[in-house]
Structure formats: structure tokens, C-alpha cells
């Protein structure tokens, strides 16, 4: 998992990445020095739970990808089955190429998880 996160982090404007469960348990993390792993995991857990509750209330069930755009950066949360891949980027990044990389990384993580089960 670490090598997949390392590859993602090499992308232009990527500040860090992690794999986290719905409950905020960190499976693997390579966050930049300016990002606190536990704080990011807690925020992500809250966003996932609240968003899924809202989606269920209108019968959309759950999301596959969530992009949060903030003043100083972006957070992409990608469903990977039993957990979520999270990527934090700079504010000015064009996500087109990065989203392709994230989807590829998610596929690799899901494939490894099936092999390890």
C-alpha cells in the first residue's frame, strides 16, 4: 500500500494521501509534514458518515467519490470497498490528471485487498 501512496504523492500539487476506514482508523498514511494524520482521518470519517447519512435520506445510498474544495486546497475521498483512499492537494491543482491517478491507485488497492483476503 505504501508504494501506491508514494506514487500518488509524487503527483504535482499532492500534499499527502492515506487509506482510512469509515470509523477513522488509519490503514496506511503518507501525509506531508504540515498535515496531521489523525486530524485528517477524523475529518474524513466525519465527512463520510454525514454524507452517507444525507445520501441515504434521499435514497442515493452512498458515494463512490467525494471532492471537497476548500480555500487552501482540495480533498478527494475515493471509496475502495472496506475503506477510503484520501488525497489532499494544493488549491490551484487541476484535478483532471490527478483523478485518473487516484482511480488507478484505488483499483490497485482493491485488487491487492482481494488477493490478501
Compute CA distances 103 → 32, 36, 85, 92, 93, whole Å.
21, 24, 9, 20, 17
Q: What is residue 112's predicted lDDT score, i.e. its pLDDT?
A: 79
Q: Give the C-alpha separation, 32 to 6, whole Å.
A: 11
- Which residues touch 88 (CB under 8 Å, ≥6 apart)? 14, 15, 16, 17, 31, 32, 35, 40, 73, 74, 75
Q: Is the pLDDT of residue 116 over 70?
A: no
User: Which CATH code fits 2-116?
Assistant: 3.30.450.30
Q: Is the pLDDT of residue 100 over 60?
A: yes
- Across 9-97, the runs of DSSP E, i.e. the strands, are 14-20, 26-31, 65-70, 73-79, 84-90
pTM here? 0.92
Q: What is residue 109's predicted lDDT score, i.e. its pLDDT?
A: 92
- Per residue in 24-80, pLDDT (tens digit) is 999 999 998 899 999 999 999 999 999 999 999 999 988 899 999 999 999 999 999
Q: What is residue 115's predicted lDDT score, i.e. its pLDDT?
A: 52
Q: Where are the domains of the chain?
A: 2-116
Amino acid at each position: 500500500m505504501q508504494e501506491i501512496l508514494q506514487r500518488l504523492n509524487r503527483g504535482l500539487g499532492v500534499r499527502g494521501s492515506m487509506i482510512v476506514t469509515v470509523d477513522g482508523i488509519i490503514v496506511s498514511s503518507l501525509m506531508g509534514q504540515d498535515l496531521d494524520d489523525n486530524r485528517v482521518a477524523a475529518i474524513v470519517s466525519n465527512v463520510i458518515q454525514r454524507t452517507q447519512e444525507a445520501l441515504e435520506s434521499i435514497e442515493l445510498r452512498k458515494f463512490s467519490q467525494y471532492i471537497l474544495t476548500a480555500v487552501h486546497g482540495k480533498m478527494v475521498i475515493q471509496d475502495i470497498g472496506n475503506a477510503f483512499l484520501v488525497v489532499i492537494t494544493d488549491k490551484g491543482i487541476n484535478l483532471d490528471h490527478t483523478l485518473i491517478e487516484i482511480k488507478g491507485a484505488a483499483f490497485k488497492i482493491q485488487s491487492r485487498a482481494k488477493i490478501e483476503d
